[in-house]
Amino acid sequence: MDRAEFMGYGLWDTTRPLAERMTMMSNIERRAIEYRMNPREPNLRIRNKAWTTAVLEDAGISVGRVLCLLTLRNGIAPSTDRFIFRHGDDGVRLLLADAPADGIVIKPDDGGSGRSVYVFRRATPNGLEALDGTRWTVNRFRAVLATEGLWKVEQRIPQHPQLARIAGETLGTLRLTTFRMLDGTVHMAPSVWKIPIGLSGVDHFSHGVGQLAAPVDPVEGRIGPARRWFGLERVDRHPLTGTAITGTVIPHWPAARVMAHRIADCFPELASLAYDVAITDTGPVVIEVNPCWGERTIQAPWRQGLVQGEFREFLEERGYGDVVNLSARNHAASLFAPGG
């Protein structure tokens, strides 16, 4: 575990029981089991966002509306023929001519970790407007499109008014993580709500030190105190809106939990997945499926490690105990246990 993790998880705090500190999973450990949890071929396939969206649509799971797949390059083929495919300057012109009034989102079809996601409040044939009010010319838009091979273009999703009162116009998603035991049953790891600050249009907890994430009670859907990527201080109110975070109940929480299980059933070859789920006024909507989820997005807000309870049973059953050093964790914890 590196110094940033050691400090960010408060592992230096000797007032915390060592057994509790020993439940924290490091980034090195999580990365070591990624392709063991999720074999390489299906792992890479699910990173094609359009293909994944088509699978979810076929299962009747609510997803964001895909406006088109768009490329400025020659020789690019989409991973699915489900959606409109547009190419070149004519494709850009048609997209902007037909853009919905509530805006668009563009992201690389093979993207991950929030790479190159752009959110626009409005898109017209004469230009675009980002959430922060920045005006984009069509030429600037084309220049960005030229940086990636294939883009997935979606209609922007407004979040539930209750959550918008806390975080503002930028969509903040739930990070829901599932894991599958060998008997086929699907369980959920601790869930969090990623809370954006400002009008960047994205809720990247890992990329913005100033962004927030908060634990969500698994039964009631009640939000706990938020924390930042680095730092242990709790944040009970949103720093810009002043609205209470702690104690708010996520709307449509039972439906979001059911959705997570249904998504997992769509990809039985993959043992553990994480989902970014938007909560709208009509219910949950899947934004993203992540085969390589981030352990810190879960552990930092909860201040609890993943290597315990059902998730530990999952690690042991799947044979990952050597990778996460379960025997060493047990030994260290036993040395300082009462009566040890």
252 and 140 fall within a common domain: no
Does some domain include residue 340? no
pLDDT at site 230? 80
Rounded CA separation 245/223 (Å): 7
**206 and 97 assigned to the same domain:** no
Q: What is the DSSP letter of 2?
A: -
Q: Provide the pLDDT for residue 205.
A: 74
Q: 183 and 195 in contact (C-beta within 8 Å)?
A: no
* Cα–Cα dist 124/73, whole Å: 22
Q: Which two tokens stand for residue 113?
A: 């970790």
- Same structural domain for residues 71 and 138? yes
**What whole-number distance in Å separates Cα of residue 170 and Cα of residue 168?**
6
**264 close to 178: Cβ distance less than 8 angstroms:** yes
**Residue whose token pair is 């409040």:** 121
Domain of 46, CATH number, reads 3.30.470.20
Looking at the structure, do residues 214 and 231 belong to the same domain, yes or no? yes
Whole-number Å distance between alpha carbons of 223 and 230? 19
Q: Which helix (H) or strand (E) holds 115?
A: none
pLDDT given at position 336: 67
**Among candidate residues 114, 139, 156, the one where a domain is terminated:** 156
If asked whether residues 228 and 133 sit together in one domain, one would say no
Which regions of the chain are under pLDDT 50?
Answer: none
CA-atom Rg of the chain in angstroms: 21
Q: Is residue 97 part of a domain?
A: yes
- Burial zone of 191 (CB within 10 Å; 0-12 exposed, 13-18 middle, 19+ buried): buried
Total number of domains constituting the chain? 2
Q: Is the distance from CB of 163 to CB of 231 less than 8 angstroms?
A: no
| Per-residue pLDDT at 113 | 66
Write out pLDDT tens, residues 271-317. 999 999 999 999 999 999 999 888 999 999 999 999 999 999 999 99
Max Cα-Cα span within the chain? 74
- 258: how many CB neighbours lie within 10 A of its CB? 12
Domain span at residue 116? 65-156
The single residue listed with the structure tokens 């994205």 is: 202
164 shares its domain with 152: no
**Statement to judge: residues 195 and 300 lie in one domain:** yes
